[in-house]
Structure formats: structure tokens, C-alpha cells
């Protein structure tokens, strides 16, 4: 099978290349770049010196089975209809096809949606929650990293009406690779090292994505308080959620709901009671880890999820989506990739 990656020089792109290289079904891998076409991949990532993978102009990407677009939002949507016309399945790691409404996209992303006519054809690619809808599809919106961790924790509980919908507080922390490879004042070393800060307070673009999918699960429109923070570490994400449980709901029911949803899942793990998720549990892997408790004094559930922002939050989940779209084993290419320390 022929597979391509646009934005291959970015952080999500290089994780795709790393994982696709070990995927049994991927025979030919084509990398596209707007900045280093014509060079070998080792010119950007020197550890690729023994593989001699060439980089093409995006425009010269040949006909493929699947194309991953790991580009800044707005760019993928401009190119998508041309790829779909060539019968290439498109998996977008960016935000262009995640929101159902072009108006909501335009409000939060501050640009006109470049291809709103395609929104109806896109599927939200979170396999553990929407597996059957993803199979065989040609346009897949890979979820954002914060939404992935949040939705894995909350969607099953909201579907079963175990939580109240009027009080959901999502306190999230991400490693700096979440911001991509491009340097900005807010994410260069001296600004991040030995520092800890919230950003996007009450305004982060993942808020409407989280609300869209939680509303779908709850069967009613709901709002959340979502506050992301930047942690001085390279990769990883930990999300702590505070929620009010429904009348009379006990901790055991919350846990049983997760276990029923995830007991067959290769990548989602409800930890044994008392073991709390750490970012290193997921590092380099497609695994997500969950834990919760019901604080008897306040009556609030405290729910924690961890993923690797670059893997389950981006490249790994995108490969799961490719496997579903192509009818391959869902975990193909995603085993044995963990990093510790």
C-alpha cells in the first residue's frame, strides 16, 4: 500500500513517519514538505541517515491509498477535495474537519472554512467511541489531543447519564511538543523551563470540539470550563476533570461503566483502584490510562486521564484510523513503541 505524509517535518509528521515505517501494510511511504522538498529526511532528522527517505513537494505526491495531513489548520481543507477526487483517503491531524459547523469553526479559528461542503463527509476519528462510523471512510478528522483524553474519560459516563451536565471542569496539562516544532516566544526554552502557566483560558480552540462531542454523548447541549496548561516537559498530557455525579450514583457505577466500555480495548486502560495516571505510563505509546474516585466530602468525581499528545493525541490515533479505514487490524504498527524514561 502507498501512504503519504504532508507536514512530515513537523512533530506530528515525524511521529507518523516513525510509526508508519514499522507498519506491515505500508510498502511505499511518500513524504511531502513545503520547505525541504528535494532533500533527504535525514537533513531534518539525522537519525534517518540509514534509510534515505526522499522528500517531495506536496504537489508531487503520487496517487496513494492514504494521505495523512499534519499541517497547520486551514491548509489541509484547501487541498482535500483534489485528493478525494484522486481516490486518496485523507486523514487530517489538524482541526479542519473536526467541528460539524463551519460557523463554529470560523468563530474559533478566525478564518473562513476553506471547504465547508466537505464537513458532512467527514467522520470524527476517535476509534474507541465511533469505531463503526470510521470503518472504510475516506475523510477522517483526527481529534485534538486535549479532546482525545477528555472524551475518552467523559463520553461513556455521559452516555449512561451518570454525570450532571451543568458542572464539568477540565484542568489539562500538556508537554511543549503539543505546540509543534515552530518556535514562538511562549514556547522557547527560557520561557518554558522552570515555569508553569495556563494559556487559552476560557478561549482555547479545543473547547467547542470537546463541547460538540460531550453534547452528542449527553443528548443535550452543554458547556465546560476547559483550562490548558503548559508543563516544562517534552511530551505527554494529563487531564484532571471535576464532575458532579447524578443523584445517588456511586463510584462503583462510574468504574463499571468505564470497564464495560473499555475492557476489550487494546489501548484504553482503567487502572487498578488507587493507581493514578502518570504521563510516563503513555509516553511514546498509543495507550491511554484512566482513573477516578468519588470524593465523599464534596460529592464530586475526580477523573484523571493521560495520553501521549503526539501518539494517541495525534499520530498513533491517526494510524488507528487508517487501519479502520483500510480494514486492517486496528493496532497494526502501534505495538511496542513505548518510551521510558
What residues line the site for ligand NDP (CB under 6 A)?
7, 9-13, 33-36, 70-73, 75, 93-94, 144-145, 177-178, 180-182, 309-310, 313-314
- For residue 230, state whether it binds ligand X2W (rule: CB under 6 A): yes
The alpha-carbon radius of gyration of the chain (Å, integer) is: 20
Cα–Cα separations (whole angstroms), residue 274 to 149, 239, 240, 291, 302: 19, 17, 15, 8, 12
Residue 94 or 156 with smaller CB distance to ligand X2W: 94
39 CA to centre of own chain:
29
CB of 251 to ligand NDP, least distance (A): 31
- For residue 145, state whether it binds ligand X2W (rule: CB under 6 A): yes
Annotated catalytic residue within 145, 163, 172, 270: 145
Q: Which residue is nearest to ligand X2W (CB)?
A: 178
Residue 79 or 206 with smaller CB distance to ligand X2W: 206
- For residue 144, state whether it binds ligand X2W (rule: CB under 6 A): yes
Q: Give the HSE-up count for residue 172: Cα atoms under 13 Å, Cβ half-sphere.
A: 36
- For residue 26, state whether it binds ligand X2W (rule: CB under 6 A): no
Alpha-carbon distance of 129 to 136, in angstroms, equals 16
* b (16+ CB within 10 A) / e for 76-96: bbebbbebbeeebbbbbbbbb
Residue 54 or 72 with smaller CB distance to ligand NDP: 72
Count of other CB atoms within 10 angstroms of residue 51:
13
Binder of ligand X2W out of 4, 7, 10, 228 (CB under 6 A)? 228
* Window 57 to 86, contacts with ligand X2W (CB under 6 A): 73
- Cβ-contact 169, 224 below 8 angstroms: yes
316 CA to centre of own chain:
8
* Window 264 to 293, contacts with ligand X2W (CB under 6 A): none
CB of 155 to ligand X2W, least distance (A): 18
Binder of ligand X2W out of 4, 10, 32, 94 (CB under 6 A)? 94
Stretch that binds ligand X2W, among 172-180, 217-225, 241-249, 295-303 (CB under 6 A): 172-180
Cα–Cα separations (whole angstroms), residue 172 to 68, 128, 306, 325: 27, 21, 10, 30
279 binds, among ligand X2W, ligand NDP, none (CB under 5 to 8 A by kind): none
Residue 94 or 160 with smaller CB distance to ligand NDP: 94
Q: Is 145 a catalytic residue?
A: yes
228 binds, among ligand X2W, ligand NDP, none (CB under 5 to 8 A by kind): ligand X2W
Encoded one letter per residue, x for contact with ligand X2W by CB under 6 A and - for no contact, window 173-212 reads -x---xx--------------------------x------
- For residue 236, state whether it binds ligand X2W (rule: CB under 6 A): no
Encoded one letter per residue, x for contact with ligand X2W by CB under 6 A and - for no contact, window 300-339 reads ----------------------------------------
Give me the long-range contacts of 73-77 (CB less than 8 A, separation at least 24).
73/109, 73/111, 74/109, 74/111, 74/114, 76/6, 77/113, 77/114, 77/115, 77/118
Which residues contact residue 329 at a Cβ distance below 8 angstroms, ignoring those fewer than 6 apart? 323
Residue 180 or 246 with smaller CB distance to ligand X2W: 180
Best CA proximity match to 53, nearest among 107, 96, 16, 100: 16
Best CA proximity match to 331, nearest among 263, 268, 266: 266
Kindly report whether the peptide bond that precedes residue 34 is cis, defined as omega within 30 degrees of 0: no
Binding footprint of ligand X2W on the chain (CB under 6 A): 73, 94-95, 144-145, 174, 178-179, 206, 228, 230
Active site residues: 145
Amino acid at each position: 500500500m502507498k501512504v503519504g505524509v504532508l507536514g512530515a517535518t513537523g512533530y506530528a509528521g515525524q511521529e507518523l513517519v516513525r510509526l508508519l515505517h514499522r507498519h506491515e501494510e505500508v510498502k511505499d511511504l511518500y513524504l511531502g514538505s513545503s520547505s525541504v522538498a528535494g532533500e533527504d529526511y535525514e537533513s531534518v532528522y539525522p537519525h534517518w541517515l540509514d534509510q534515505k527517505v526522499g522528500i517531495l513537494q506536496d504537489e508531487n505526491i503520487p496517487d496513494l491509498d492514504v494521505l495523512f495531513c499534519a499541517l497547520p489548520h486551514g491548509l489541509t481543507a484547501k487541498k482535500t477535495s483534489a485528493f478525494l477526487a484522486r481516490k486518496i483517503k485523507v486523514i487530517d491531524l489538524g482541526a479542519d474537519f473536526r467541528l460539524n459547523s463551519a460557523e463554529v469553526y470560523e468563530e474559533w479559528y478566525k478564518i473562513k472554512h476553506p471547504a465547508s461542503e466537505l464537513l458532512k463527509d467527514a467522520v470524527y476519528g476517535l476509534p474507541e467511541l465511533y469505531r463503526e462510523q470510521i470503518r472504510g471512510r475516506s475523510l477522517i478528522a483526527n481529534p485534538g489531543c486535549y479532546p482525545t483524553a477528555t472524551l475518552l474519560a467523559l463520553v461513556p459516563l455521559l452516555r449512561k447519564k451518570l454525570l450532571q451536565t451543568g458542572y464539568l471542569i477540565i484542568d489539562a496539562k500538556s508537554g511543549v511538543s503539543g505546540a509543534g516544532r515552530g518556535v514562538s516566544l511562549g514556547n522557547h526554552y527560557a520561557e518554558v523551563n522552570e515555569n508553569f502557566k495556563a494559556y487559552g483560558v476560557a478561549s482555547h480552540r479545543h473547547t467547542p470540539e470537546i463541547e460538540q462531542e460531550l453534547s452528542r454523548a449527553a443528548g443535550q447541549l452543554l458547556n465546560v470550563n476547559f483550562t490548558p496548561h503548559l508543563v516544562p516537559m517534552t511530551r505527554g498530557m494529563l487531564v484532571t476533570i471535576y464532575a458532579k455525579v447524578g443523584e445517588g450514583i456511586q463510584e462503583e457505577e462510574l468504574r463499571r461503566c468505564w470497564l464495560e466500555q473499555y475492557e476489550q480495548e487494546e489501548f484504553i486502560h482503567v487502572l487498578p483502584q488507587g493507581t493514578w495516571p502518570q504521563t510516563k505510563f503513555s509516553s511514546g505509546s498509543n495507550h491511554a490510562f484512566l482513573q477516578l474516585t468519588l470524593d465523599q466530602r464534596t460529592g464530586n468525581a475526580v477523573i484523571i486521564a493521560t495520553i501521549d499528545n503526539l501518539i494517541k493525541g495525534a499520530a498513533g490515533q491517526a494510524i488507528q484510523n487508517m487501519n479502520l479505514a483500510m480494514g486492517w487490524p486496528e493496532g497494526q504498527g502501534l505495538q511496542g513503541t513505548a518510551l521510558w524514561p
